[in-house]
Each structure stands twice: as structure tokens, then as C-alpha cells.
Amino acid sequence: MEPFRHFHRVTYADCTVGNHVYYGRYLALLEAARGEWLRSIGKSFDDWHRRDGLIFPVLEVHLAYRSPARYDEVLTIEVRVTAARGVRLNLDYRVLADDGRVILEGQTLHVCTSLEDKPRRLPPELVASFGPMPGGADRSPS
């Protein structure tokens, strides 16, 4: 399965005095890509929240910085589902520079909950929207 791709041009506000993207800024870039990915498969985070009473908080984040990104570079942020099981949703990311350099690799681990923070199974329509999962990805119902 091809990853979802979101593009971001690095702004001056993204950068440090040393003209590289501030390390903490990558979380906001991944969030933007995750939101666009979810919208592309049918419903935005706001739709799940307002219509279905569900949220998908992050439980863990893992980031590996590989190369600096700099002002005005166009980044490609790839999002891919690696597990969707029970209440858990795991996503992998790769951030690539326009010259193909890997800037960052990461993962976010989410849980599906009600607005009252009660765990809820991932909705079947959401899991079905992921399409075919890559070779070790887990999407079993338990």
C-alpha cells in the first residue's frame, strides 16, 4: 500500500537561528499530515469528534532525526498505518527532502477513546478505509 503524502514548505517560523527546522516543530508537521491523511480517507478528526464522539489521543511518539531540513525546502511527509487493532492505531512517518534525503522517521501510537476518555474499539468503517495493509501490519479485530 502506498503511503499518504502531505507536502510542507519550510517557513522561517519553523527554523532555528541555525537555519534548520527546530526539532519540536516536527510534531506539528506530523499532526498536519495525520489530519490530512484522515480527511483523505473519508472523515476529519473533527468529524469523528463531533459526529461520533471519538478522539484518537497519542500514547507514544518515537522520532529519529536523520538530516536537517532548512528554510524554503519542500518536505514530503509520508503517513502509513502499521497496526489497527482493538482500540489501538499505530502510524509510521517518513519526512523526505525534495532531493530525496530522509529527514526524519517516526511513529505515533494512538488509542481510540470516547470524549470521556473511555477506550472504544476502532470503528469498522475507519479500519476498512485503510485498505490493504502492508505485510506485517495487524488489523485483526481483537
Dump strand ranges (E) for the chain: 4-9, 54-55, 58-65, 74-85, 88-96, 102-111, 113-114
Q: Assess if residue 20 is contained within a domain.
A: yes
Render pLDDT for 37-77 as a digit per residue (tens, 0 to 9).
999 998 999 999 999 999 999 999 999 999 999 999 999 99
pTM of the complete model: 0.90
Q: Assess if residue 137 is contained within a domain.
A: no
Q: What is the pLDDT of residue 124?
A: 94
Residue 81 — pLDDT band, cuts 50, 70, 90? very high
Residue-number span of the structural domain to which 94 is assigned: 4-129
- Total domains, the chain: 1
Q: Assess if residue 136 is contained within a domain.
A: no
Q: Assess if residue 139 is contained within a domain.
A: no
Render pLDDT for 16-30 as a digit per residue (tens, 0 to 9).
999 999 999 999 999
